[in-house]
Structures are given as structure tokens and as C-alpha cells.
Amino acid sequence: MKNLKSKIKNIKMLKIFFILACFVYSFSYADTERLTVLYTGETHSMLYACGSCPLNISGGLAKRATKIKELRKANPNILLVDSGGVFAGGLLDEYTQSVELDKQRTLVNLDAMKLMGYDAVAVGDEEFNFGEDFLKEAAKTKGINFLSSNIENGYLMNHALIKKGNIKVGMVALSNYDVKRKISDIKYTEPQAALEETIGALKQDGADIIVVLSHLGEDEDLGLIRNVYGIDVLVTGHKLSSDPGHNDKIGQTIILRPGWQGRKLGKAELEIKDGRIISYNIDDITIGNEIKDDKEALSVLPECFSSADCRKKGFSGTCNDSGTLSAKCEFKEPEKISILIISPKKCASCKLEQAEKYFKDTFWNVDISRVYYETKKGRDLVKDLGVEMLPAYLFGREVEKNANFNSFRKFLVPKGDKYLLDPSVLGVSFFVGREKKEKTLDLFVSLYDKNTAALLDMMKDFLSDKEHKNINFKLHFIALQPSEENIITPYGLPEVEEDLRSVCVMAKYPDKYWDYLSCRAKNIQSSWWDDCLNSCGMNINLIKSCSASIEGKGLFMENIALGIELQISSFGTFLVDNQEVFSIIKAPEKSELEKMLK
């Protein structure tokens, strides 16, 4: 009986403990706040979808507005910001027309941004494209919070404290020095000093987290992150990076990189507890054609701003009364454009069907024909045109009459009575004139790219298969400058030092180097590279000595020479048989790679 009472007492205690635990968990969970940061930058008042974008027509204010409304329904705690480069005009605006039309386009863009409910917009040098009075008037009349913490002029906000739910967000914005070049007498403060002072003021005002909108460029941003404590989130601007391998967090700072021209909407989901971000997730939302236009945003947008905005499948468009809200598109059937594609007979990575679809979507009425490089006609054309890379795309001069010609002409190189498409538009897959070396495979990587570890593991497995034993494989690192005195790599000096060690490992331990490279790629942010050498049974002093010697530099220069010759800058690029080239975004399955190599 006594035991029974004791057991009942224990059960009761367990129940009480369980209830208390649930209460504590529930209280802890309730204390966590969720904030969604939506961000843009370098939009340059691009009002409509990008009509000249290779293979991917995206963007447009009305579609962006639709997506933002959709996301607000899912989570009302949304912070909507822009890191600057909002105004039209200047060298980076590919749709610039004239000062007056660019001003009008900027004002339309600001009206649409107001409708979307932007919380803060950083001021960059582009915001002074039309002088200080124009920006001052826009700041007064457009209902947008223009921020700069290092410009003092009386009409820009220095900082902002914005409450979202129970979260107080301290907003800081940094303007680049090019502002001073445009407005010489403007009061400009060095960014780091302004940042430190503003963070301190916002923390005193009760800010839970600090969000910095920087228009300095990523190199300067990284310096600030290293030198200034208290930056929770930094949205980059001015010089945007498109490299998916870049780190999205350094120390405590989450780095957000906007998409170019508003063709993507950045989204960062933050979980915040006790003034600290405890988890995050970053996503880029493509503003694609499948997204419907927001009717409210359409009400402030003219139908077109130039003829390039008038797109209707099968027709050529002209914009009448451009620059006014009454602007209208007029359509007529376009003249047929002849396009000749020169390609190798066998080219698994050429993606010609994709290219043809792009031409049809862009120019509508096209007559596309193909000729193989291996034929006499193909070889003669390649020789006469001076083509070095294939596929090559040759346009007839009638393309000049197409409505999209003005926005597309920068990609066209005159060749007699034809135009040759710049290879950068659709990429290249085949190098003309290079000796074919069968059963050779070269791979270009960076150990700092987040996909490299998986790619190396897959390649090791692939090459170990019996049917692939006869492949002559070489691994290369990527450098941007060939000078022996000053080798530059995408991730700077730390990457150079790691590459030097790696080429020494490859030379000294040809049977073990896979293990070392895989170990480092998985732990590249760690400075304990010698742990990887130890775990692979390698001599630390031997590799250390080699990497600091003339021998190590020679091995490195030899390793990067092919990539420099072919101007390869994308991580995960393959060169097959010394002729065909293709890049991957993430590590493929073995079976996928086998298909690519056939």
C-alpha cells in the first residue's frame, strides 16, 4: 500500500513537471518573433519586365507589387527596403533615353514604390543623377523614407526606428563616395564613423536589431562587418555580386544581396529572440511572367515608356506619347529576321532549342537555319567572321527595323551585311581551333564555393568507376589575374593561400589529394587547415614549405594557366576533350554527368 501511494505521488510529480515543461516551452516559443525582410537594389527605375534578358524575361513593378501583397498576407511583419540605385539615368541604366524622360520614369517608379509600402530606401550616387533639388523634391512629396547616415543635408533621414510587431528595427543607410563627386559641396562623413555613431544612437533608442542598407559596394561592406560590431543584417548595393557561392553570413552579420533591376525580390526570414537573430533563411524570388500584374500599380504606370516596352507575341510595337501617362503601344506585324546558327555537329551543352525559343520570344517573326561547323560552309563562315567560340548566331540587317533592336544592339557586332551576337549573351559551348584531346576532362573550382564539397565527392566517385578509369582528369582553381607578383582570386588572399597548399598536396600526394580537398571544402572557413593534413596522413611541414616556395608558386601558375587562357570565371565549369565547355550550378548526379559527357 505504501509503495502504491509512493508510485501515485511520483506520477503526480511527473505530471506537474510535464505541465511546467510545456509552460516553459510555450512561453519560450511565444517569446520568439518572426520578421520577413524583403529587399531590392540597383533597380534603376526599371518599370517593366526585362525584354532583352537572355532566356529569362523577368521583372516589372506591377508584378513585384503583386508578390509583395501576397507575402504580406502570409506574414504582416514585413520590412520592405531598397539599398539604393533607385533613380533612372547614368551609365548603369540600360533603358536611359533623355534627362527629361529619365526624370519622368524615376517619378513613376517612386509612385509605384510608395504604393508597395517601402519602409526605407538608401541614397546612393544615382539618386543625385538629376541634381540635389530633384532628390529634395522627391523626398518631400513622394512619401518615401530616403535614408543616409553619412550625408547631412536637412531633407534626408539620418536613420529610422521601425516597429514591426514587437520588434524594433534600427535602420542605417550608407552612401558611397561618388555622391561627393556629383555634389562637391555636400557634407559627407566617412562611412565607418557614421555607422558606429548611428548604431549607438539606435541601440540607446531601444532597437532590437540593426539593419544596414549599404550603397558602398561589397568590398567596403566586408571591411565594415569586420571592424564594426552590432550589424545584424546588411543589404548590399552599388556593386552587386551574382556569385551564388559567396557567404551569406560573416560573424553575426547576415548579408543580403539584391537582384539586378528588380528582376528578383530578395526575401530573408528571420527568427528573433531577446534582440538576437537565432535562425534565418534567404530566398531569391524571381519576378517571372507567370505573376499577374497588380491593378493598383498599373494605375500609376503608363502602358509604355519606349518602344522596347511594347511586346506582343507575333508583332512589333511602337510607343506613342512616351513619357506620359497616356502613352500607348501600337502594334504591327514585324519584318521577318533571318538568323543563322553555326554549331558543332555534336554538342551536348549547346542548348540550341533554348536559344531558338529566346529569339522567337524576343523578335517574334524569325527564320532560323543551322549550319554545322564541320561542313565547308560552316568552316568558311567561321574563318571569314573570325569566330573563336561556338555556337555563333548571325543576324540579317533587317533586325535594325525590329522594335527591340535599340535595347538589343549592344549585343550585336557588325560583320559586313550581318550582325554577330556577342557570345556573352547565350554563352559558349565549343572553342574553335583547339586541338581535340579525347578522354580528357578538366574541372575548374573554388574551395570557397558552397557547392564544391559535394562536387568533389561526386567526381571522386565518378572517376573511381571502372568505365571512367581511362579519363585523363585535371582539377584547376580559378584566378582572375595572371601576374605572378599579384595573383587575384575571387575570394582574395585567403583563397590564394589555400590554393597554394592544395596544388602542393596534389603534387606531393597524387593518390590522397581528394581527401584533403574534400576536407577543406567542407570546413573552408576554419583556419585549421593542418587538421585536414593530419587526418589524411600528410606531412604538414612538407606542404607548408612547398606552398611558401618558388616551387609552390610555379605549381599554382601552371594550375591556373588554362582557366586564364579560356577566361573561365564560373565555379563548377567543365572542359571536355579540350574543346567543349559547360558550367553547372550545383553538383550533378553521376548519371547526369555521364549524359553530359556523351
CATH code of 379's domain: 3.40.30
Same domain, residue pair 179 and 155: yes
Could you give the CA distance from residue 42 to residue 236 in angstroms, rounded to a whole number?
Answer: 10
The whole-chain average pLDDT of the chain stands at 87
Asked if residue 11 belongs to a domain, the reply is no
Q: Which of 262, 293, 324 is the last residue of a domain?
A: 293
pLDDT of 484: 55
Q: Which of 303, 301, 406 is nearest to 363 (CA)?
A: 406
Same domain, residue pair 246 and 306: no
Which of 507-512's residues contact partners 24+ apart within 8 Å by CB, and which partners? 507/546, 507/555, 508/538, 508/539, 508/542, 508/543, 508/546, 509/536, 509/538, 512/536, 512/537, 512/538
Indicate if the pLDDT at residue 23 is higher than 50.
no
Asked if residue 518 belongs to a domain, the reply is yes
Q: How many structural domains compose the chain?
A: 4
Residue range 162-204, pLDDT digits in tens: 999 999 999 999 999 999 888 888 999 999 999 999 999 999 9
DSSP 170: E
Q: Which of 401, 431, 461 is the last residue of a domain?
A: 431
Could you give the CA distance from residue 516 to residue 475 in angstroms, rounded to a whole number?
Answer: 13
Asked if residue 14 belongs to a domain, the reply is no
Same domain, residue pair 73 and 51: yes
Residue range 38-78, pLDDT digits in tens: 999 999 999 998 865 655 678 999 999 999 999 999 888 99
Asked if residue 16 belongs to a domain, the reply is no
Which residue reads 509600402 in cell numbers?
117
What percent of the residues of the chain are helix, what percent strand, and what percent coil, each to the nearest 5?
Answer: 40, 25, 35
Asked if residue 3 belongs to a domain, the reply is no
Same domain, residue pair 518 and 426: no
Asked if residue 26 belongs to a domain, the reply is no
Share above pLDDT 70 across residues of the chain, in percent, rounded to a whole number: 91
Same domain, residue pair 177 and 268: yes
Same domain, residue pair 101 and 41: yes
Q: Which of 399, 431, 463 is the last residue of a domain?
A: 431
218-227 and 191-204 helices cross at what angle (nearest 10)? Answer: 50
Same domain, residue pair 554 and 472: yes
CA distances from 120 to 111, 326, 597 (A): 14, 30, 49
pLDDT of 409: 83
Asked if residue 241 belongs to a domain, the reply is yes
Same domain, residue pair 177 and 322: no
- Among the residue ranges 105-109, 162-166, 246-250, 396-400, the one predicted with the least confidence is 246-250
- Among the residue ranges 16-20, 199-203, 326-330, 379-383, the one predicted with the least confidence is 16-20
Same domain, residue pair 318 and 461: no
Residue range 136-160, pLDDT digits in tens: 999 999 999 999 999 998 899 999 9
Extended beta strands in 215-353, E state: 233-235, 249-250, 253-256, 264-273, 276-286, 311-312, 315-320, 328-332, 337-343
Same domain, residue pair 536 and 575: yes
Same domain, residue pair 42 and 185: yes
Phi–psi pair at 49, nearest 5 degrees: -60, 150
Same domain, residue pair 232 and 368: no
Indicate if the pLDDT at residue 523 is higher than 70.
yes
Q: How many residues can be counted in the chain? A: 598
**Overall pTM > 0.85:** no
pLDDT of 467: 86
Domain range for 307: 302-333
Cα 239 to the center of its chain, rounded Å: 11
